[in-house]
Structure 1
C-alpha cells in the first residue's frame, strides 16, 4: 500500500483500515507460528502498512 493512496482518506477511514490490517496481521502471525503461512513476507508488509496509516493519522490530527 502506497502512502499516496492513504493520505487522501479521512481519519475515521484510516482507523477502520488500521483495525482491519491489525486483525490480518494477527491472523498471519498465528498462521506463521503453526506453519500454514505460505509467504512470511506478508507479515512485514502488513506491519509497514499499519505504520504508514499511523503516520497519516498523526499528520491529519496535527493540522
Structure 2
C-alpha cells in the first residue's frame, strides 16, 4: 500500500474516488482488527498510511464541492 499522490486522486472520477475510499476503509478496519486481536502487524506504518490516504481523498472531495 503506497501513498496516493494528490495528482492521482484529482485525476480520478467521483465514482472511482468513492470506490477507493470504500476499499481503504475496509483495509483500515481489517488492519485495526488484526491489531486489536494482538497480532503483530506485517507493516507497522500501514494504518497511518491508510488513514492519510483517506484524509487526502476526503479533502479533495470537500475542495471540489466548494467550487
Higher helix share: 1
1:1-63 equivalences in 2 (<5 Å): 1-34=4-37, 35-63=39-67
- Deviation string for 1:31-63 (max 9, x for gaps)? 112214211210000000000000111122222
TM-score (norm 1): 0.88
4+ residue segments displaced more than 3 Å: none
CA distance in 2, matches of 1:31, 1:40: 12
Q: Is there any run of 5+ residues in structure 1 with no aligned partner, and where?
A: none
- Give RMSD over aligned pairs: 1.1
The number of equivalent residue pairs is 63
Runs of 5+ consecutive residues of structure 2 not aligned to the other structure: none
**What SS class does the counterpart of residue 52 from structure 1 fall into?**
helix
| TM-score for the superposition, normalised by structure 2 | 0.83
